[in-house]
């Protein structure tokens, strides 16, 4: 009945896991491995998924930015077989890395990234609007979506 409350509650639980278990002790790698196992177990408990040690980088990304889980799910819906490639480009942009895709043409890299992100935002909005007609995007730093 209250999807916003449930979503925010889940995000808060994931952030709390990161607060408790997200630190790295550079002097004790075994302790880091134990914290990683705990993060995976608690993440799976909150989300109901069954991620493994192979997914620790993705889990850590979601613990820091749980609002990105919905974006990942839409990417899987939009791109099917190539969702992993598209997701990695998106994730690298969110994390502030200049993904290799944007460094080859000589055009301003930041303009390329902004154009790519705008295109993704428009496509995500189309998928969301199709499934949830009453939803509209929040305008942050992007130009308004026009449909």
Residue 74: its pLDDT value, please? 85
> So where are the chain's domains?
3-64, 68-131
Collect contacts of 59-65 with beta carbons under 8 A, ≥24 apart. 60/18, 60/22, 61/91, 61/95, 62/14, 63/14, 63/15, 63/17, 63/18, 63/22, 63/39, 64/15, 64/18, 64/22, 65/94
Residue 18 has pLDDT above 50, yes or no: yes
pLDDT, tens only, 63-105? 999 999 988 988 888 888 878 888 888 888 888 776 666 766 5
Averaged pLDDT for residues 19-28: 80
33, two tokens: 């491995």
Q: Tell me how far apart the alpha carbons of residues 79 and 34 are, in angstroms, rounded to a whole number.
A: 35
* Reported confidence tier of residue 44, pLDDT bands at 50, 70, 90: very high
Contact present, 121 and 142 (Cβ < 8 Å): yes
Residue 103: its pLDDT value, please? 65
Averaged pLDDT for residues 32-43: 91
pLDDT: which is higher, 102 or 19: 19
Q: Tell me how far apart the alpha carbons of residues 11 and 80 are, in angstroms, rounded to a whole number.
A: 25
């Amino acid at each position: 009945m209250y999807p916003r409350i449930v979503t925010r509650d889940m995000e808060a639980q994931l952030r709390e896991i990161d607060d408790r278990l997200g630190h790295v002790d550079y002097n004790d790698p075994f302790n880091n491995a134990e914290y990683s196992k705990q993060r995976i177990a608690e993440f799976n408990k909150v989300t109901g998924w069954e991620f493994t040690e192979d997914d620790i980088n993705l889990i850590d990304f979601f613990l820091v930015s749980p609002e990105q889980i919905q974006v990942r799910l839409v990417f899987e819906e939009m791109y099917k077989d190539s969702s992993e490639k598209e997701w990695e480009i998106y994730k690298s942009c969110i994390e502030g890395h200049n993904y290799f895709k944007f460094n080859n043409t000589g055009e301003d890299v930041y303009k390329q990234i902004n154009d790519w992100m705008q295109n993704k935002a428009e496509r995500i909005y189309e998928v969301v609007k199709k499934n949830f007609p009453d939803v509209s995007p929040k305008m942050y730093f992007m130009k308004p979506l026009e449909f």
